[in-house]
Structure 1
Amino acid sequence: MFLHPDAQFYIDTLPTLSAAEQVNFGKDPAAPGVVASHSALDTEITGVPVRVYTPVSVAVEAALPCLIYFHGGGWAGGTLDMIDATVRSLVTGLPIIAISVDYRLAPAHPFPAAIDDAFAVVSAVLEGTSGLEIDTSRVAIGGDSAGGNLAAVTAQQLREHAVASAIVPALAHQVLIFPVTDVSTTDTPSYLQFGADCYLTKEAMEHYIEQYADGHDRTDPRLSPLLAPDLSGLPPTTIVYGECDVLAHQIRAYGQALLEAGNSVTVTEFMGQIHAFINLAGISSDARAARRFIRAELEAALC
């Protein structure tokens, strides 16, 4: 196992970092225009707190495409401020509205609270009831880690809802960044190989899963989207993850399963990288490259 030097530096430095310093690690010093590209407003959609990023240099004469994003944090942590730099970077310079969702967290609000919040926000956007000028035919969802899990599950739920109602427009794209796709087991090769010394540990994941699942059947596809019996008819998908992640095995498996079900899938692995690396743009060239790649995927899908 060989960690990327940026990843090793972060792991070695992490015990000395304050919360503010960790947030600063997410900011790309080479991209000062990221903040200026979009204005931000904290508000609510269907009662769920969100932060809406609106392009400042675009004359809003017509509805704009939209990215709805769910932060990581093991379904029990994470904030809109912690993910702010990442969300901004994915839409900077693009005529895309971004919505960052502050869903309810475990253990106070275990499964399915987060999924309910995610589905409510995305449904409101697609149905045109969010109060925002959004082109409902050009909506993407995305998220990292636990947020990637919420995005994957929401995409599956929307497909089922669309089949039943024939009303809700289809998603144009989904971006899954080192997503949790299977909480039913931590007995995989990547958990064995990377579960102790690569930032996110097997022990930590088991704790997060226990808090969130709260006794629910962990093979339920709303917890483990990889285990859904039918993965056909899902939106075009971009998957990004690091090689040295306890989730790597299940992430690759989800990408393969989506492909075998007839979906359009692009899977990109960053060698030597750890879980959550995309949030380290202040120190990681791979994080900056991943953000540029995802931004290009979103531009191609939505603009």
Structure 2
Amino acid sequence: MSSKTPTDVTAADEPHQEISGLLEQMGAAPAPTFHSLSPEGAREMINAMFPTPEEPEPVAETMDLSIGDDGIPIRVYVPEGEGPYPTLLYLHGGGWVVGDIDLYDATCRAITNEADCMVVSVGYRLAPEYEFPTPLEDCYTAAEWVFDTADAMQIDTDNVAIGGDSAGGNLATAVTLLARERDGPTFDHQVLLYPVTDHEFDTTSYEENAEGYLLTKADMEWFWDHYLRDDLDAMSPYASPLKAERLEGLPSATVATCGFDPLCDEGAAYAARLEDAGVDVTHHHYDDAIHGIAQMLVEPMDLTRGRDLIDDVATDLQRVFD
């Protein structure tokens, strides 16, 4: 089920049957938790969890590039047809600690084809080697690159969106806040998939989904501890966008939340704050889904709810780009 009411974030009686089956399989052969591992161990574990398909979903073209003074890797996915192309700058999830361009390849390919747009995926530097705000500044550099190289890359600057999932959603919100304050890149839309929006752990969804649905409360505390330098960072709106004093003037937004996700309530709260600030918001709530479904597009975890989310995102992007 997907609803578009920003306040409707209740969970279903139980997860979707495919998700329940996946959780049962994982429970039969339990893996270590993120918070029990070193960052290096967590990266190895998540790479093993999400297999690389033998034949990736085809797109017209892909380009692996390096940008900025620090050599930030990006991968550009080009759709069929002729440019200039509407474009989505995509920032991957992984709690700022794990994840990379390769891990989100299937997600970006699916969005490219379903939304018929170019996707620029950013391999920002990870914590704890690079703490806040370095990953954010890497993403801001990528945002500037999209506009600075628009002619050469065949990017339609009248139709550029920014988005990401989980920690990537957090970074996307923060880039839009930075761009507003710095009079920087102007985005037409933001796509926030079950985003991290606040350094707090006291919501109902944190209490009800603390364990048992892949992402746990203890995991999120571990991720935050690696990302932030100190407690003062946690109060910054560029780390906790829900703490921003004002959200007026930000791009229209697609916000997705999942019923069995510790982050559900803070995502819904951010959607409501945006709407209160006069921002046009479409909120998709998947009451029977768990955190991470946008990434679960490759067998053996090619989930219906993951495909539903990609379809909804593509529909919203096409509406904006039209």
What is the TM-score with the length of structure 1 in the denominator?
A: 0.89
Does residue 58 of the first structure (1) align with residue 73 of the second (2)? no
Paired residues for 1:182-193 under 5 Å:
182-183=198-199, 185-193=200-208
SS of the aligned residue for 1:35 comes to coil
Does structure 1 residue 289 correspond to structure 2 residue 279?
Answer: no
For residue 127 of structure 1, report the CA deviation from its aligned partner.
Answer: 3.6
- 174, 177, 181: which is aligned to 2:197? 181
CA contact (8 A) 1:7 1:277 kept: no
- State the 1:271 CA deviation: 1.2
One-letter identity of the residue aligned with 2:172: A
Residue 118 of structure 1 pairs with residue 139 of structure 2: yes
Are residues 1:23 and 2:45 paired?
Answer: no
State how many pairs are aligned: 289
- On the 8 A contact 2:161/2:188 being kept in 1, the answer is yes
Extract unaligned runs of 5+ from structure 1: 163-167
**RMSD of Structure 2 on Structure 1 (CA):** 2.2
CA separation in 2, counterparts of 1:93 and 1:74?
26
Contact residue 232 and residue 258 of structure 1 kept, 8 A: yes
Sort the Cα spacing of 1:131 and 1:13 in 2 relative to 1 into closer, same or farther, 3 A: farther
Change (3 A) 1:216 1:118: farther
Mapping 1:1-303, distance limit 5 Å: 1-14=13-26, 16=29, 22-24=49-51, 35-46=57-68, 47-55=71-79, 57-60=80-83, 63-92=84-113, 94-128=115-149, 131-162=152-183, 168-183=184-199, 185-217=200-232, 218-282=234-298, 283-303=302-322
CA 19–108 in structure 1, closer or farther in 2 if over 3 Å, else same: closer
Contact 1:38–1:88 (Cα < 8 Å) also in 2: no
Judge which range, 104-113 or 210-219, deviates more: 210-219
**Alpha-carbon distance in structure 1 between the residues aligned to 2:219 and 2:151:** 36
Cα distance between partner residues in 2 of 1:81 and 1:269? 27
Instruction: Evaluate the alpha carbon distance shift between residue 214 and residue 231 of structure 1 in structure 2; reply closer, same or farther with a 3 A threshold.
Output: same
8 Å Cα contact 1:124-1:130 kept in structure 2: no
Amino acid at match of 1:58: G
Q: Percent identity?
A: 33
8 Å contact kept, 1:194–1:245? yes
How far did residue 93 of structure 1 move?
5.3
State the shift of 1:270 in Å.
Answer: 0.4
CA contact (8 A) 2:160 2:189 kept: yes
1: CA distance, partners of 2:316 / 2:99 = 25
Q: Is the 8 A contact 1:128 1:136 kept in 2?
A: no
Compare 145-154 and 268-277 and name the one that shifted more: 268-277
Q: Deviations over 1:40-88 (max 9, x none)?
A: 1211122311001112x3134xx22211001111100001111111111
Matching residue of 1:165: none
Shift, 1:14, TM fit = 3.0
Question: Alpha carbons of 1:49 and 1:91: their partners in 2 closer, same or farther (altered >3 Å)?
Answer: same
CA contact (8 A) 2:47 2:103 kept: no
* Secondary structure in 1 matching 2:90: strand
- Write out per-residue CA displacement over residues 99-124 of structure 1, whole angstroms, 9 at most, x where no aligned residue: 00000000111111110000111022
Label 1:219 to 1:169 Cα distance change in 2 as closer, same or farther (>3 A).
Answer: closer
Could you tell me how far 1:137 is from its partner in structure 2? 1.8
What amino acid is the match of 1:284? L
Q: Normalization by structure 2: what TM-score?
A: 0.84
Residues 194, 130 of structure 1: alpha-carbon distance in 2 compared, 3 angstrom cutoff: farther
Q: Which consecutive residues of structure 2, in runs of 5 or more, have no partner in the other structure?
A: 1-12, 32-44
